[in-house]
Amino acid sequence: MARKAAIVGGGVIGGGWAARFLLMGWDVALFDPSEAARARVARVLEQARYALPMLYEGPLPPEGRLRVSETLEQAVAEADYIQESVSEVLDLKHRVLSDILAANPDAPAGSSTSGFTPSDLRAGLGEGAGRVLVAHPFNPVYLLPLVEIVGRDGAVPGALEAVESALSGIGMVPLVIPREIDAHVADRLLEAVWREALWLVRDDIATTAQIDDAIRLGFGLRWAQMGLFETYRIAGGDGGMAHFLAQFGPALAWPWTKLVDVPELTDALVAKIAAQSDAQSDARSIAELEAERDGNLVAILRALRARGAAAGRAIAAHEERLSLAPGGGAFTTVERTIPLDWTDYNGHMNESRYGQVFSDASDRVLDAFGAGPDYVSAGFSYFTVESTIRYLAETLAGERIRAETRITLADGKKLGLSHVMSRVSDGARLAEADQLLVHVSLETRRSCPPREDIAARLTELAAAHASDKV
């Protein structure tokens, strides 16, 4: 039975939470009194369905059920986890959290607040206040893994652990902050940069576009995969961070920035920033900008995933926990969503990626009969010596595909495989492939007979597959 998450507040952040939970297999009950909430969440969910599966090499769990509740009490009833994402108005949050605690006496409640501390949120909530913690995500919630968890002090036993478990289970990376402080950690860093950026625009030092270029073409790329301190550690050379601080530390006393002061947001300054931002966006709609953002984030996160670095390492670790067993039949070997970076200038999947799908399918077969990584470590493997691919239909980014494989030949050193790749939504065949593999010794790099247990298993599978044409 699927676990239930209650999402209170259907804005951009609440919609992102709903999408993340749903696509990771949770049932979601959404409550928002605004009539526009349902449309907002539907738009966010549509974008998430397109983007999130592209991060993974296998299928996500079956999507949960979304129910839009008429009352808050109906939404949170019997929920295993509750996420509050209403506007940043403390009185409003107090009222909503009080209603949540009264309607569900057991589940932990996370707040998406950007700035309020747990003490702020818990004030006046009474006995159940210790079930409330800060669980602050970043937009888009369905792609970015970081969530700041604050509120260890004063939490009821097990609440912090329950929040960590629920959120790590849906692919988030909880950053547990030991002491509360206004705006937590990440937003305090962002505000420092934001204040300085406002001064640079106000004083006509740089435009909004130039400031964004300075970030996305320069230090932002380093921050995305290494953060701040490790970036500066490298800048210190062989002497590391100590040398960096000795060399550049004195500059902190120079009046370069205006971190404490903030320029007055006069009508003229607001108009200047808005005009520059409008020109920078080149008349693209918010939906178009969101689509571009998500596509870029998927590409960056996939690159980091391939390198096992930063946020990409978190995605790979989460995929291992999902235990993505292929579905759709006994011989299903691949099931995944096609990512954007697999497509070419014609807008469809590049021919080399069909080869990757069928190569992945072959690896799954080898794993199935015991010739996986452990067998390779023992000094034996199968090499592909011939591969024929037939392209039957276009495959587009965002489509979910499945490869089904059968063994057509198991004769001593030779192994024959036949693959069919189809679209999951309608079963349409997209490509077919036949492969011939030869068993080799990794010591001599020459062909040799497979181990007896492997040969026996192959013969058994080949016989079973002979009568099952895919």
The answer to whether the beta carbons of residues 59 and 335 sit under 8 Å apart is: yes
The answer to whether the beta carbons of residues 7 and 29 sit under 8 Å apart is: yes
The reply to whether 110 sits in an annotated binding site is: no
Cα of first residue to Cα of last residue in the chain, in angstroms, is 32
For the beta carbon of residue 99, count every other beta carbon within 10 angstroms.
17
- Virtual torsion, Cα 277, 283, 286, 292, nearest 10 deg: -90
Mutual angle of helices 310-322 and 286-307, in 10-degree steps: 80
Give the integer Cα–Cα distance in Å for 86 and 93: 7
The answer to whether the beta carbons of residues 109 and 135 sit under 8 Å apart is: no
CA angle 190, 195, 200 (to 5 degrees): 125
Please state whether 20 falls in left (phi above 0), alpha (psi between -120 and 50) or beta.
alpha
The reply to whether 115 sits in an annotated binding site is: no
Q: Look-up: residue for tokens 């539907």?
A: 42
Distance, C-alpha 300 to centroid of its chain: 11
Q: Look-up: residue for tokens 């590391």?
A: 240
The answer to whether the beta carbons of residues 91 and 65 sit under 8 Å apart is: no
Give the integer Cα–Cα distance in Å for 202 and 268: 9
Give the integer Cα–Cα distance in Å for 255 and 190: 20
The reply to whether 10 sits in an annotated binding site is: yes
Question: What single-letter DSSP state applies at residue 343?
Answer: B
Q: Which amino acid is at 354?
A: Y
**Neighbouring-strand partners of residue 349:** 343
The answer to whether the beta carbons of residues 88 and 111 sit under 8 Å apart is: no
Q: Look-up: residue for tokens 């065949």?
A: 429
> What's the residue count for the chain?
470
Question: What single-letter DSSP state applies at residue 331?
Answer: T
The reply to whether 328 sits in an annotated binding site is: no
Known binding-site residue numbers for NAD(+): 9-14
Known binding-site residue numbers: 9-14
